[in-house]
Amino acid sequence: MPDFQPDCPSEDGLLNEFKMMWELRESFPLHFTVFKQTACQVSQEANVEQVFSRAGLLADPNLLPSHLSTLVMVGFNKNAFKPQIAAIKDKYYEMFRNKTKS
């Protein structure tokens, strides 16, 4: 084991584990690989918390997991795609009009 103390403090004086793992990557290649696969950025952590929060608000014991997943994704993506009302109606009519069961 190398006798190496990386100089990795962050601006607030705490250990910067990303910088430390980068400096130790050649000495500990397996640890570096595992760290890359499991370390999470703060921005990603916030998104995950929002998804679980939204899912918790929508959850119902009688709801299928796949339907819950769809509802959560629609809730998060609704600001990215806003079709016109006419386009929504046209798609609805295309999918469900004249589709009577025989």
Given a contact cutoff of 8 angstroms between Cβ atoms, the answer to whether 5 and 27 are in contact is no
Range of the structural domain that residue 62 is part of: 46-96
Same domain, 85 and 64: yes
Position with higher pLDDT, 74 vs 5 = 74
Which residue shows structure tokens 């999470």?
Answer: 40
One-letter amino acid of 23: E
Same domain, 58 and 74: yes
Which of 54, 45, 56 is CA-nearest to residue 78? 54
Domain presence at residue 31? yes
- What is the rounded CA–CA span in Å between residue 35 and residue 18? 9
Domain presence at residue 80? yes
- E strand or H helix that includes residue 25: none
pTM of the predicted model over 0.75? no
Same domain, 51 and 92: yes
pLDDT for 18 equals 84
Domain presence at residue 75? yes
Same domain, 69 and 89: yes
Residues 18-56 have pLDDT tens digits of 888 888 899 999 988 888 887 766 555 556 667 777 777
Q: How many domains does the chain have?
A: 2
Same domain, 60 and 22: no
